Structure 1
């Protein structure tokens, strides 16, 4: 909406910024993104995970390593819990 307003008013960034109460720089960036890439360029991609098809071989290896490290940590915690449980059971006898 802001970009359309700015374009309709002959790229008057200052007027647009004041009208929508946003910064001049932000309006300027949005208009440039829109002109370079269209509506899709304005979408916020932060926080979006890549699909498996988008991952490079190195990214796939890093993801696999993270999963393995998480699993190892989980197993260590489970092992420590079982040892403690066994110790408590021995003390009760």
Structure 2
């Protein structure tokens, strides 16, 4: 079994075109492009379901603010506020511990 490798968007498009042109022969496609059988199949299935845009790697990317719904905007703001609150609590806890250590030295 061939190990999968990272591919660029252009490579994915080329892989899908080759696979479709050769009657969905995933094994041959995988060998030719040095990817796993599953990658070749996944790229082709994604393309057929969602077109060329489905081949974009969107992992780890957030939506732009213009694309967000009101609920998504509120959730994002809530996450930011929670993170700020947690940071403030950690800072207060650290200062409390620091003052305790300083009192011991006196």
Q: TM-score range by the shorter chain?
A: 0.5 to 0.7
Q: 1:54 aligns with which of 50, 67, 74?
A: 67
TM-score by length of 1: 0.66
TM-score by length of 2: 0.60
Residue 41 of structure 1 pairs with residue 54 of structure 2: yes
Pairing 1:6-85 to 2, within 5 Å after superposition? 6-9=19-22, 11-13=23-25, 15-16=28-29, 19-20=32-33, 22-23=36-37, 27=40, 30-31=43-44, 33-34=46-47, 38-85=51-98
Contact 1:33 1:41 in 2 (8 A): yes
Distance 1:50 1:82 in 2: 37
Instruction: Please state whether the residue corresponding to 1:47 is helix, strand or coil.
Output: coil
| Superposed CA RMSD | 2.8
Contact 1:13 1:27 in 2 (8 A): no
Q: Which runs of 5+ in 1 are unaligned?
A: none
Larger Rg: 1
